[in-house]
Amino acid sequence: MSTAVIFDMDGTLFQTNRILELSLEETFELLRGKNLWDKETPIDKYRRIMGVPLPAVWETLLPNHSIDTRNLANDFFQKQLIGYIHSGRGELYPNVAEIFRKLKNNHFPIFIASNGQTEYLDAIVHYYSLQELITEMFSIQQIASQNKSELVGKIVKKYKLKKGFVVGDRLSDILAAKDNNLISIGCRFDFAQEEELSQADYIIDDLLKVEEIISSYHSDTLSI
Instruction: Report the C-alpha gap between 166 and 148 in whole angstroms.
Output: 11
Helix (H, G, I), strand (E, B) or coil at 88: coil
pTM above 0.85? Answer: yes
**Residue count of the chain:** 224
Q: Are residues 180 and 156 in contact, defined by beta-carbon separation less than 8 angstroms?
A: yes
Establish how many alpha carbons lie within 13 A of residue 3's alpha carbon, considering only the half-sphere containing its beta carbon.
20
Nearest to 187 by CA among 213, 149, 162, 216: 213
Instruction: Report the C-alpha gap between 167 and 93 in whole angstroms.
Output: 13
Instruction: Report the C-alpha gap between 86 and 126 in whole angstroms.
Output: 10
* pLDDT score for 220: 45
CA-CA-CA-CA torsion for 192, 193, 196, 197, nearest 10 degrees?
A: 60
Question: Can you give the pLDDT of all 224 residues of the chain as single tens digits?
Answer: 678 999 999 999 999 999 999 999 999 999 999 999 999 999 989 988 887 888 899 999 999 999 999 999 999 999 999 999 999 999 999 999 999 999 999 899 999 999 999 999 999 999 999 999 999 999 999 998 999 999 999 999 999 998 999 999 999 999 999 999 999 999 999 888 999 999 999 999 999 999 999 988 765 444 43
* pLDDT score for 216: 84
Instruction: Report the C-alpha gap between 24 and 19 in whole angstroms.
Output: 9
Instruction: Report the C-alpha gap between 43 and 23 in whole angstroms.
Output: 10
* pLDDT score for 54: 86
Q: Are residues 208 and 98 in contact, defined by beta-carbon separation less than 8 angstroms?
A: yes
Q: Are residues 223 and 108 in contact, defined by beta-carbon separation less than 8 angstroms?
A: no
Q: Are residues 187 and 180 in contact, defined by beta-carbon separation less than 8 angstroms?
A: no
